[in-house]
Structures are given as structure tokens and as C-alpha cells.
Structure 1
């Protein structure tokens, strides 16, 4: 089954403080207005958020370009993607 295209939501990661045991839903489609987290905008796209539980209290950089090979963590892919404009 195919899905709608993934949208680039930003040009740099967002630093987030995760809390151990908390469940997070990272936006994988790029449509959420609550980046980098899901707000339900993916409904009908065939794309789903990546839901994960923080294993420890940690500060991480979550991807907003949506092309990381290590979702939800930024791997620097935003540096390799041609900038719009």
C-alpha cells in the first residue's frame, strides 16, 4: 500500500528533554503543527507516528526533516538535503 509523501517540517533538529517512562509520538509525516510530535495530522495519509517510550531521562535531538535513518533521532540528514527556496 502506498502513502502520501513525507513533508519536510524543519531544517534542524529540536532538542527535547525526555523523561524516563514517558511515551512520545514523533511525527513521521511532517504535517503536525506540534513538531516534532504528532498532532494527528497524518490521518488519511497512510503514515503513522513513531511511538516510543523514553528508557531514561535524557536530552536528545529529534529530527524535523523526517529523512533521518535513525528515527526519531536526528542523524544529520537535514545537512544533505537541498534547501527549499
Structure 2
């Protein structure tokens, strides 16, 4: 009886985007402003013709070295020196 052992170099599936495409995506992300999951998904679909699920986009963003955070609201009536005013109190 012979026992077969499989040696896997890397686990999991290969990425759909190549390293060159990741670099191009990073350049596009640098030039864009106010990106969210939906916009990044649209960019990947339009530029590279690859359809990722929206749950995969934050993983891609993290792989590129960016932090993925929820946006926060900026109030237009807030004074420019609001931080200084708060520190005084």
C-alpha cells in the first residue's frame, strides 16, 4: 500500500487580477477621491472586465496596503478652528 502525500506550494485559488493590474488599480485609486466599495467594484469591472463580489473588495484594498474604514460626516457649519475651541474647554 502506497501513501500519497500532496505538497501544495500555496493554498487557495489564484487571484483574478495580475500584479500589473494591481499596480494599475492602485494608480487609479490614488487619482480618485472619495472611494467606497461600490466605486472600486465598478472600476475593476470597467477597467479589467473582472467581476468580484462586493465582499471581496475590502480584502483587495487591504492587500494594496490601504486601510478600509467607514466614512465620517463633515459638518459644513463647523468652524475651521473647531479643534482649538474644543481644547480650550
Same fold (TM over 0.5): no
Q: Which structure's residues are more often helix, by fraction?
A: 2
TM-score of the superposition, structure 2-length normalised? Answer: 0.23
TM-score of the superposition, structure 1-length normalised? Answer: 0.23
Q: Which structure's residues are more often strand, by fraction?
A: 1
Which structure is richer in relative contact order (CA contacts within 8 A, separation 6 or more)? 1
